[in-house]
A and B are shown apart, each in its own frame.
Chain A
Amino acid sequence: LAKTTQPISMDSYEGQEVNITCSHNNIATNDYITWYQQFPSQGPRFIIQGYKTKVTNEVASLFIPADRKSSTLSLPRVSLSDTAVYYCLVGDRSSNTGKLIFGQGTTLQVKP
């Protein structure tokens, strides 16, 4: 499974757009990109998943350039409740299991 690299921490203010970039230089053809969010003392929660170009849902957008060696999670107009750890994961679509390998994650602190 490809290794991912993310910033350890980020600060933002309420109402701003936040972009968290994840580097995955060794991503393979069959790999997909998934982001999870985790609040303290809770289990991670799925945010978004993509393979290429752009994916958008009600919570976030995921931008993946053509070479797929990085991806950017975009959170529009963050609020205090978006303070959490965000994990970027790269997984193999061709495998038979849902094996998730979490990287170190990015701790996002949203300030008032």
Chain B
Amino acid sequence: AQTVTQSQPEMSVQEAETVTLSCTYDTSESDYYLFWYKQPPSRQMILVIRQEAYKQQNATENRFSVNFQKAAKSFSLKISDSQLGDAAMYFCAYRRATSGTYKYIFGTGTRLKVLA
């Protein structure tokens, strides 16, 4: 069965600094998607960034980028120039790309605090 592990329950970063959130996953599939979601205190989840497993190029979205290491089954999120609005829970998620179960699997989350 696939699993997603976020080993950092909480992280802090100084405003304008860079922080990296870790995510590892376990799967026997070769084709899958990976996601990072942000959940601010209001609890509405927002997609931050996504990655196709077959693409070696790391995805980037403005200040957000990922370090995707397929062999190591690692998918970390880097937030550059951190802003107060980045404070939230961040969830890593996995979904297989082939037909069959479409189940998304989420990690337990990392709470990011941004210090002014």
> Do A and B interact?
no
Interface residues of B (CB under 8 A from A): none
Interface residues of A (CB under 8 A from B): none
